[in-house]
Amino acid sequence: MQKRIPNTLLVIAILLIGLGGLFSVKFTPPKPVELQSGFMFPEAFALAPFELVDQHKQAFTNANLTDQWSLFFIGFTYCPDICPTTLNKLAAAYHELKKIAPIQVVFLSVDPKRDTPDKLLSYVNFFNPEFKAITGKQTQIFPLTRSLGFTYAMVGEGENYQVDHSAGYVLVSPQGTRVAVFKPTAALGQAPQVLNEALISDFAKIVNSYKPQ
């Protein structure tokens, strides 16, 4: 004779099965966003506190990163190729990027000895007056570049020294956290660059998938 399962035990078993399914869905890790030109970090990274100055001689701090996306890259105004190429490409992509979400382009000069605010103003205005150009003392610049994942080094001696520096972009969220990096590719005989088509497409993917932590 087959024993019957008491109704109470049957209800408990059904509830446990249901809860197991619920938790398996809830705690399934989201699929990473696939980008054409870089990658999105698994977790947003808080930037170190910083206080620099922009091309208008106004303070530029972590507070200037809130309520909009920020696209950072580093360089110097005496750069012979990568910096002017990058600024020219970003000027061309800027209108399309702004259609997706509020965004500011931030050029961080790591050559404060030569790149005064006045020099940065005339330099960046040639490409787009809406772009931000910031700098400061090396002791102020370094914590921010490290937080963003950029590297740079002075090369040579005398007045005509150069600066080797990262050629990619870093995207910072409206909460002031590092979210993604865009890496350049180099064609034969050309300076490394991030293709605008890929940048615009990837930015849209990030904005649509991003959830503040």
Summarised one tens digit per residue, pLDDT across range 112-139 is 999 999 999 999 999 999 999 999 999 9
Determine the Cα–Cα distance for residues 90 and 8; give it in Å rounded to an integer. Answer: 66
Q: Is residue 153 part of a domain?
A: yes
> What is the structure's pLDDT at 155?
80
Calculate the average pLDDT of the chain.
85
The more confident residue out of 194 and 61 is 61
Query: Strands 103-109, 132-135: parallel, antiparallel or unpaired by DSSP?
Result: parallel
- Domains in the chain: how many in total? 1
Quote helix, strand, coil % in the chain, to nearest 5. Answer: 35, 25, 40
High-pLDDT (> 90) share of the chain, %: 59
Q: Is residue 59 part of a domain?
A: yes
Helix (H, G, I), strand (E, B) or coil at 46: strand
The response to whether 37 counts as a known ligand-binding position is no
> What is the structure's pLDDT at 194?
86
The response to whether 116 counts as a known ligand-binding position is no
Which range is least confidently modeled, 73-77, 96-100, 126-130?
73-77
Nearest to 90 by CA among 176, 213, 207, 199: 199
Summarised one tens digit per residue, pLDDT across range 33-51 is 788 888 999 888 999 999 9
Give the CATH number, domain containing residue 119. Answer: 3.40.30.10
Kind and range of the H or E element at 134? Answer: strand 132-135
High-pLDDT (> 70) share of the chain, %: 82
pTM for the model:
0.81
Size of the chain in residues: 213
Q: Is residue 24 part of a domain?
A: no
Q: Is residue 203 part of a domain?
A: yes
Q: Is residue 125 part of a domain?
A: yes
Q: Is residue 158 part of a domain?
A: yes
The response to whether 34 counts as a known ligand-binding position is no
Q: Is residue 2 part of a domain?
A: no
Q: Is residue 134 part of a domain?
A: yes
Which range is least confidently modeled, 94-108, 114-128, 153-167, 169-183?
153-167
Q: List the domain range (segments joined by +) for residue 80.
A: 33-209
